[in-house]
Amino acid sequence: MSDKPFLQLDGLRYGRGRASDIIKSLSLTIGQQERIGLVGESGCGKSTLLKLILGVISAQSGQICCAGEPIRIKPWRPMNHYRKLVQYIPQDPHTALPPQQTVAKLLAEPVKRLKLGTVDNALLQRAVEQVDLPHSILDKKATELSGGQAQRVALARALIIKPKFLLADEPTSGLDLPLREQIKALLAQVCEDNQMGLLVVTHDISMVSGLCERMLVMQQGHIIEDQATADVLRAPNNIYTQRLLEAVPRIDATAWHFPRSII
Ligand SMILES: Nc1ncnc2c1ncn2[C@@H]1O[C@H](COP(=O)(O)OP(=O)(O)OP(=O)(O)O)[C@@H](O)[C@H]1O
């Protein structure tokens, strides 16, 4: 791939009209293999931005280029080539995965759709191994998966394409703490193994600090902070970011007491 930025977003605008736009003249450059965390309060436009980058919705104005080429040659459909480079894991894989299909079928589908070669058992087994799932999961239906398993299957389905970049929308929402840590470690591992970039939307600042070298903060459709994660956490530029970081719950063991009645 060229030395051009992997993704270049220029002047993106999405919404019904200037005042109520969800995304407001947003520009962003994303390098190859960059790992970026995108945070911001509920409703500020994070998922909408991911959908624009994925190409499932189109901006009213502005353009997205991948390695210097516009991602759309026709207004309604991104290039097939782009689909092979950029994959997505949804916020709630349980509702996104067709419920009656087996995991084997779910994993085979994008390989067939994008004409990436034959699907055999060895390929499917490698795909589930990569996300630490047993081979036996291949025969299960999506409805039979736990939340953590569904999240891993969604990840395996994205990785089977061997993408260069992964868009992940709150990949740990609804999971308990140990599972969140496991998914975070797994994402770090697959980014490393596959030399893949990542843009992850999350409300979990520890996911950004543990996984992403760059952090973006969004407010009302604008990117208001864009720095190295360590710099944002140490000295945010924006008062809104400061408030967002202050709102992260911390456990202070010294300030916590058992009520006398249960000691
Ligand atoms: N299909 C849609 N039609 C109309 N408005 C929408 C649609 N999807 C989202 N919105 C609106 O766009 C705004 C941004 O939504 P979006 O889902 O991008 O926010 P978000 O930052 O991802 O929020 P959250 O953190 O709660 O997931 C919200 O006001 C939402 O109501």
pLDDT tens column, 128-157:
998 989 999 999 999 999 988 998 999 999
Is the CB of 22 within 6 Å of ligand 1? yes
Answer yes or no: is pLDDT of 81 > 90: no
In a domain, 108, yes or no: no
What CATH number is attached to the domain comprising 12? 3.40.50.300
pLDDT of residue 125: 96
Q: What is the pLDDT of residues 40-56, one digit of tens each?
A: 988 999 999 999 999 88
In a domain, 199, yes or no: yes
Q: Could you tell me the residue range of the domain that residue 202 belongs to?
A: 7-92+165-247
Is the CB of 57 within 6 Å of ligand 1? no
Is the CB of 43 within 6 Å of ligand 1? yes
pLDDT of residue 257: 45
In a domain, 186, yes or no: yes
In a domain, 256, yes or no: no
pLDDT of residue 199: 97
In a domain, 195, yes or no: yes
Which letter, b or e, does each residue of 134-161 get, where b requires 16 or more Cβ atoms within 10 Å of its Cβ? eeebbebebeebebbbbbbbbbbbbbbb
In a domain, 233, yes or no: yes
C-beta of residue 155 within 8 angstroms of C-beta of residue 186: yes
Give CA–CA dist 159/153, Å, rounded. Answer: 10
Q: Say how many domains are in the chain.
A: 1
Answer yes or no: is pLDDT of 189 > 70: yes
Answer yes or no: is pLDDT of 37 > 50: yes
pLDDT of residue 262: 37
Identify any residues that bridge with 222 across adjacent strands, giving them in sequence order: 219
Spatial CA neighbour of 159 closest among 198, 130, 200? 130
In a domain, 143, yes or no: no
Is the CB of 48 within 6 Å of ligand 1? yes
In a domain, 156, yes or no: no
Residues for the chain: how many in total?
263
